[in-house]
Structure formats: structure tokens, C-alpha cells
Structure 1
Amino acid sequence: MKTLLVFLLIFSIIVVIHEFGHFYFARRAGIRVREFSIGMGPKLFAHQGKDHTAYTIRMLPLGGYVRLAGLNEEEDLQAGMEVSLAFNDQNQVTLINKSKKSGQDELPVRINDFDLLDDLTIEAIPVGQDVMQTYSVSDQALLVEEDGTKIPLAPRSMRYESASVWHKFLTNMAGPLNNFILSILIYTLIAFLLPGVPVGTTSGESQPVVGQVSQNSPAAAAGLQADDEIKAINGQTIETWEQLTQTIQDNGAKELSLTVERAGKDVQVQLTPEKADNDGGDPNRLVIGIMQKSNVSYDSSLGARLTYGFTQTWAVVTGIFGVLGSMLVSGFKLDNFGGPIAMAQMTNQVVSYGFTTILSFMAYISANLGVFNLLPIPALDGGKILLNLVEAVRGKPLSQSKEGIITLVGVFILFVFMIAVTWNDIQRAFFN
């Protein structure tokens, strides 16, 4: 239960911060925000803000969204549909109710035609009558959806497609940017909670030098020692610790020939990696039983604490892009990604290490989400930003039909990807 609560808290905070970025800049651009949702699926709770935005909590805590007017979203009204209308003192329509629950003061009508973008009118016949009426619609009117959620209507000038390219770009960029800002702030907080922040030379941190050898491990059986520097594996030159671990993983559970520099002399060592015991982590990860020698010291100065948030976030971001870049060379690997199940497993591990570790995990996930959303995939923020750049170059946006098709393709790609990642998580967690 504790792990579940921590998981939901971490994910909810990250999602709220991400979506608030979209919300804030959309409002500044004059784009009407119809809904700010935490979670997906059926609605559990809704509150109508003074800004007419519907603030909702939905059943599945697997994300959230800000629903902007436009973005190929229609009002979902049709000719022949029966709805009920409410009016203000100026006899303007202030409520269009599609749900089955209508108020006593609402007028049931059958829609014949409508224009909720420019003229703001509804042409309809009141139920029980046979005379067509044309009703003026307030630009502050609300639409009650079938599940009871009230969303504001939006004239053309208040829709996403009417905003300038720059405002669209800021609105789309703000979500990932907020994730990076959250990561920076959390890592900075951690810097002030710790006695000092780790510092060290980049080359020292990356050197493939053995710091400790685990007992009863392949490395111990082969005679590896502390301060050994691994120079090559199977004749392939090794220059960094990251290259060392990746080479071990890529070669699988096969015998390796290591060239080791010890006291100025080269020594040949043979060993076979074994699967790591990760207590819920990746069961396919291979290890030889060594830890890297650390050249890290600790700095308790104010300057080091203030810059730690930036340097640590940058390290996470560059590390992610490094993994993505390596996939362009070695091929796409699902094991490099993790879905909700993998995140829950990692949460289970970090909970036992205390508050600071949980904070570090939240910062890491936030930075990850920021990078992922910047990928140029339609339906992600990065895909929308790419369309903004295309619009800036062309001098006009793509047609709504083309943009809609591109978005649907992106949604399909993401749907297939999430199914594949989740199934891979299940296999790693329960069948390996």
C-alpha cells in the first residue's frame, strides 16, 4: 500500500506540473481550456472553475491531459439530436445539455443546424412544437457532455488553430519545460538536504577502473582486483565504464576475455557473466560482480548546492539521449523503455531507501517524461512542436484534415508502443 501511494503521488505531481505548463500558456495565448484532467477514463470528480474550465479527476491514474478548444475537436452536436437549452436574461443560450439529466428551467429541443464558431447560433425546433427557432448562443456558454462534464464552448478566435505560431509553440513546449524545471528544483532541494553534493572529474567518473569486487562473483573467481583497469573485452578497446557495462550486456552469457592493466602490466582474464539479482529490476541484466572505483568527492558550498539541480538534470537528459542515440546504431530495444509496471517496480525499490531517494527518483522520472514528450512523434508534444515549425516555414498551417490524420497515426503508434512496453514489463516481472 505504501508503494502504491508513493507511486500515485509521484506520478500525479509530475503530471499536474506538466499539464499546468500547457494550461498556463494556453490561457496566456487566449486559447480556451475546456478541461484539466488528472487521470484517464471514466470521470470520478469534476469542479467547474470560474474560468469555465472543468477540473476533473478520472479513474485511471496513468496520466492526464489539458483539453484545449480546437485541435480537431468538434462540439459533437448533430442535426436531429435532442438536447436541452438554458438561457440568460438576454435570451441567449448559456447551456447546451447533451446528458440525460436536464434541469427544470431547460428547454428541450431538436437541433436542425448550428454554428458555434462564427455566428454562435442554434437552429432548432422545441420538442412538442413544429416551428423552427433560431437561438443566439453566448460566447460564455457551456456544453454538458453525456457523462455530465461541463466544458466551455469556444468561438473561432478562442481556439487553438487561431493562435499565432509562437503561442502554439509556447503552449506545446511548456509541458516538457515544466518537467525539466521540476527536476531542477527537486535536485536543488536534495542538494540542501544532503551534507554535500557529489563532485568529481568527468574522466574519473567514466574510467573503467574496478573499485570493489563482490564475493562469489565471476569477477572474484577470475581473480579481478580493486584498482584493475579493464582495457579491452574480446579484443574490443574499452574506454569508459558505460562502454564496459554495455559490452558485457551485448555479448550475452558467453565467456569473455578481458585485458586488464594491473600495476602497469597487462593481464588476461577469462570469465562468464551471470544474471543480476535485482529484486524486481531487469532480470536479463548481466553482471560480472564489480563496482566502479569512485573519484567523487563532496562539496558543501552554496554554489555547488545551487548548481546541482542544473547539472544533475542535464546528466539525466544527456544520458537518455545517449541511450536513444545508441539505438540508432545497435537497433531498437524495448528493454530500454519502461511503462507503469516498471515504474511501480522501481518505486517499490526506492521507497525502502527513504525520503531523499524518493525525491531523486521523482526528479529522474520528471526529466525522463520531459525528454519523451519532446520526441517528434505525432500526438506527443514534440510532434505538435514539429507541426508548429512546419507552419512557421510554410507560412500557414496544414489543413485540419491532414493534421487530424497525422495525429491519429501518432495515437496509433503510441498505443501500439505502450502495449508492447507494458507486455515487455509483464514478461520481465513475472515470466523471467
Structure 2
Amino acid sequence: MNTAIVFILIFGALVFFHELGHLYFAKRAGILCREFAIGFGPKLFSFEKNETVYTVRLLPLGGYVRMAGEDPETIELKPGTKVGLVLNEKEEVTKIVLDNREKYPNVRVVEVEQADLEHKLIISGYEEYEEDLQTFRIHEKARYVSAGEETQIAPYNRQFGSKTLGQRALAIFAGPAMNFVLAFVIFVMIGFIQGIPVDKPIIGKVVSDSVAQKAGLHEDDKISSINNKPTNSWQDVVNIVRENPGKEIKMDVTRDSKKMTIQVTPAAEKEGNVTVGRLGVQSPVEKSLFGSIKAGFDETYRWTKLIFVSLVQLVTGHFSINDLSGPVGIYNLTGQVVEYGTIRVLSLTAVLSINLGLFNLLPVPALDGGRLFFFLIEALRGKPIDRQKEGMVHFIGFALLMLLMLVVTWNDIRKFFL
């Protein structure tokens, strides 16, 4: 049960922050965002705020922000169509009722002669029992009602396609970028919670029932020398201990301003084909905001580089599809990590967040990177590619990604039962 809860929380965090990047910069550009969704499929939960419907859906396979203009926006009001108009005190149309007009007592029924819901924002037509053509101005946030559902209209200046190339690119790029920001914040938190390793000859935590504890070594003991050899760094301590498996060594230690000498015999442990000495102590750490921020940058860069190299190797054939993991594999990994505590769970979340960000930046149709690639082509040729052609490419890309997801999931299931 714990695994399921942690998996849902990790998945939710990754998708939430990714889609939040899209949502924030799309709204900053003035784009109407119709829906902010976590998951796909049937709705489990939803509420509306500031023009956007926030939903949680059944299938945990990702999420999306549905921006106005990405799907066909115009409702076709042909001449002769009868609609109901609900007006405000300024005589502006606030609702266009397409059916079930009897539910709106103050509705004014109009036979449409002309309608423009994107640019001029007007409806012209004839009211019942009236011979004069009337023109009604439509409020920019008016809604049309069909089959009991209300949908806000999207004037052209609120649609995705009306924005500059830079605004559109930023709204798309912000999703993967937020995954890197999330990973950085998590690594900073980890650094602040457990401290940052420092290269000083000071003992960190002492492992219970280790040779160090039995010999009397304590946390924060400062080691000035081992076997009369000065130790100026933690690496000096590690090197000498490793070179003396099963051999007694003499450590000159300072504890609370008092100097003492402690005899200890490092345990002999196998490391590959080599036997090395171990004391059972951890490296010293320091807790500082600046150090944690630096560690956050370092860890984010290190994992980004590592995952990027892995993706390149996958493309060049050094890895096969069988080496990939999908939701099932990640679920199994989460179950293993949960046993090691919160820090390991946070680390996994950060790494998966970087993975998601990098994967989405690949120039593959249906991914954010694929859309950014089309923006690059638009910038080079000076005009956008035909929307229908681009939409077809993204549709094919999405179908192939779903096929890849099925293959990877099947491989994960086979590995689970083997």
C-alpha cells in the first residue's frame, strides 16, 4: 500500500510541475487554457477556477494543458440557425444557448444571419416576431451552451496560434524546464536535510556495531594522523584505512579539545578482486544553504549529463528497448526505494523528473521537443507549417509513443514475473 501511495505522489508531482510550467507561461502570454489535466481518460475529480478546469483523470500516463486554438475553436452558426442569447446589463451576449433553450427564462431567441466569434465578436440575426436585423455584441468571455455543458469562447487574441513565436515556444519549453527546476529544488532539500559531504579529516556518523564503534571512535572526532602519517583531508583517512585491512592502526584523535590515541583494526572486506579496510564510519557533512544550493546545481548537472548520455546510447543502438522501464518498472523500483526511507524517495523523484524533462525535449513528434522543432522550422522559413500537416505528424508520433509504451510495459511485466 505504501508503494502505491508513494508512486502516485511521485507521478503526480512530476506531471503537476511539468504541466504547471506550460500553464503559467501560456496564461502569461494571454492564452486561454481550457483544461489542466493530470492523467488521461475519464474524470475522477474536477473544479474550475480562473477560466481553467482542473481535472484528475483515471489513467496515470501523463497529463496535458488544453490551450485554446490547438483544436478547432469555432462553433459553426450557419445562417438560419436558431440560438438563444443571454444578455448582461450592457446588452452584451454572455451565453449562446444552442439547445434546451427552455431552461433559460430570459433567453432571446435569434435566427442567425451572421456570426463571428473570433474577430468581430458579433451575432446578427432576426428575433422572433421582429422584422429588423439586430446585431448583438458578444462579451469576450461569453460561453456557448450545448448538451448541458458550457464552454468559453476563444477570441483569436486568446488562441495559441495568435501569439508570437517566442511566446509559443516559451509556453511549450516551460514544461520540461519545470522538471529540471523541480529536480534542483529536491536536491537542495536533500543537501539541507542530510548535509553536504566535506573533505575534512573528521569522522561523520559511526555505524552501529562497527569496528569504529567498538574501538571507541565518536562522531566529530578530528583525526590528525594515522600511524604517525599526517591526515589533512577525509580522502587521506580513507586511503590509509583501505590500505590496512585486518591490520591494527594507531589514530591520533582530538575530541572536545582533548588529544588521544585510539587503536583500531579495520575490517577486511572484498571490493571486486581486492580486499580493502573498512572502519564503519561515514564522511563528515556540513549543513549550509549555500552548500545545499551548490550541491543542487551539481547533482542536477551530473544526472542530466548521465541521462543524456544514456538517451544518446539508446538512439545509437547501445541500449535496446528491453533496457527501458515504463510505469510498471518505475512502480517496482519505487517499492524497493521506499524501504530505504524518505531521502531515497526524494532522490528517485529528482532523477525521474530530469528523465521526464530530457525525454520531452527530444525532437520527436507529439513531444514538447517535436513541437519546438516545428517552431524552429517556422523561424527559418518565416511562416508556420500547415496546421493540418503538423497535426497529422504529431498524431502519428503520439500513436508510435503509445505503441512504445505498450512494448515497454509488457517488458516490465515479464521482468516482474521472471
- Normalised by the length of structure 1, the TM-score is 0.69
After superposition, what is the alpha-carbon deviation per residue over 1:189-235, rounded to whole angstroms, capped at 9, x for unaligned?
011111434889xxxxxxxxx99xxxxxxxxxxxx953647xxxxxx
* Letter aligned with residue 46 of structure 2: A
Query: Considering only CA atoms, is the larger Rg found in Structure 1 or Structure 2?
Result: 2
Q: 1:88-119 CA distances to partner (integer Å, 9 max, x unpaired)?
A: 23343323456879843456778787432223
| Alpha-carbon distance between aligned partners in 2 of 1:332 and 1:33, rounded to the nearest angstrom | 39
CA offset at residue 371 of structure 1?
0.8
Counterpart AA for 2:116: D
Matched, 1:425 2:412: yes
Deviation at 1:121, TM superposition (A): 3.7
SS at match of 1:412: helix
Contact 2:41 2:59 in 1 (8 A): yes
Note if 1:300 corresponds to 2:286: yes
* Cα distance change, pair 133–331 in 1 and its aligned pair in 2 (3 A): farther
Matched, 1:26 2:26: yes
Contact 2:121–2:137 (8 Å) recurs in 1: yes
Q: Does 1:56 pair with 2:55? A: yes
Listed as ranges, the matches of 1:5-154 within 5 Å are 5-49=5-49, 51-75=50-74, 77=76, 85-96=85-96, 103-105=103-105, 106=107, 114-122=115-123, 135-144=136-145, 148=149, 150-154=150-154
Runs of 5+ in structure 1 lacking a partner? Answer: 201-209, 212-223, 230-261, 264-295
Q: Over aligned residue pairs, what C-alpha RMSD do you find?
A: 3.6
Contact map agreement 1:172 1:381 (CA 8 A) in 2: yes
Alignment of 1:230-309 (within 5 A): 297=283, 299-300=285-286, 302=288, 303-309=290-296
Give the superposition deviation at 1:375. Answer: 0.9
Over 3 Å counting, the alpha-carbon distance change for 1:147 and 1:198 in structure 2 is: farther
Q: Give the unaligned 5+ runs of structure 2.
A: 201-241, 244-268, 277-281
Deviation string, structure 1 residues 54-87 (Cα, Å, up to 9, x no partner): 2223233332211111124434657598876533
Could you tell me which residue of structure 2 aligns to residue 372 of structure 1?
359
Amino acid at match of 2:173: M
User: Judging changes above 3 Å, is the alpha-carbon distance between structure 1 residues 112 and 12 closer, same or farther for their aligned structure 2 residues?
Assistant: farther
Is contact 1:45-1:56 (8 Å) kept?
yes
Q: Is the 1:351–1:357 Cα contact (8 Å) retained in structure 2?
A: yes
Q: What corresponds to 1:316 in structure 2?
A: 303
1: distance between equivalents of 2:330 and 2:354?
Answer: 14
Give the aligned residue type for 1:15: V
Q: Percent identity?
A: 37
1:341-361 Cα offsets, whole Å, 9 max, x none, are 122112211222211111111
- Residues 101 and 380 of structure 1: is their aligned pair in 2 closer, same or farther, counting only changes over 3 Å? farther
Partner residue in 1 for 2:396:
409
